[in-house]
Structure 1
Amino acid sequence: MVMIRKLISSGSTFEKEIGYSRAVVVDNWVLVSGTTGFDYSKMIISDDLLEQAEQCFKNIESALNQAESSMKDVVRVTYVFPNTEDFEKCWPVMRKYLGDVRPSAMMLTAALSDPRMKIEIQVTAYRSTET
Structure 2
Amino acid sequence: MRKIYGSGSSWEKTLGYSRAVQVNDTLYISATSAAGPDGTVVGEGFYEQSAYILSKLEAVLAEAGFSFADVVQSKIYLTDISAWEEAGRAHGEVFGEIRPTMALVHVLPFLDAAMKVEIELVAQR
Same fold (TM over 0.5): yes
State the alpha-carbon separation in 2 of the partners of residues 85 and 24 from structure 1.
32
Whether the 8 Å contact between 2:42 and 2:52 is mirrored in structure 1 is no
3-state SS, counterpart of residue 125 of structure 1 = strand
Give the length in aligned residue pairs: 123
Q: Match for 2:91 among 94, 97, 107?
A: 94
CA RMSD of aligned residues (A): 1.3
Q: Per the alignment, do residues 8 and 53 of structure 1 end up closer, same or farther by CA in structure 2, a change over 3 Å counting?
A: same
3-state SS, counterpart of residue 87 of structure 1 = helix
- Of stretches 9-18 and 111-120 in structure 1, the one that deviates more from structure 2 is 9-18
3-state SS, counterpart of residue 81 of structure 2 = coil
**Corresponding residue number in structure 1 for 2:78:** 81
Q: Match for 1:48 among 23, 44, 54?
A: 44
State the alpha-carbon separation in 2 of the partners of residues 48 and 99 from structure 1.
24
Residue deviations 1:61-117 (CA, integer Å, cap 9, x gap): 111111110111000011110101111112221111111110011111012232111
Q: Per the alignment, do residues 46 and 33 of structure 1 end up closer, same or farther by CA in structure 2, a change over 3 Å counting?
A: same
Q: Match for 2:119 among 116, 121, 131?
A: 121
Whether the 8 Å contact between 2:33 and 2:117 is mirrored in structure 1 is yes
Q: Map of 1:63-74 to 2, 5 A cutoff?
A: 63-74=60-71
| Unaligned stretches of 5+ residues in structure 1 | none
Sequence identity (%): 29
Whether the 8 Å contact between 1:12 and 1:43 is mirrored in structure 2 is no
Whether the 8 Å contact between 1:81 and 1:109 is mirrored in structure 2 is yes
State the alpha-carbon separation in 1 of the partners of residues 48 and 78 from structure 2.
14
Normalised TM-score (structure 1): 0.87
**Corresponding residue number in structure 2 for 1:35:** 32
| Unaligned stretches of 5+ residues in structure 2 | none
- Give runs of ≥4 in structure 1 deviating > 2 Å: none
**Corresponding residue number in structure 2 for 1:26:** 23
Normalised TM-score (structure 2): 0.91
- Of stretches 22-31 and 50-59 in structure 1, the one that deviates more from structure 2 is 50-59
**Corresponding residue number in structure 1 for 2:58:** 61
One-letter amino acid matched to 1:44:
T
State the alpha-carbon separation in 2 of the partners of residues 5 and 27 from structure 1.
7
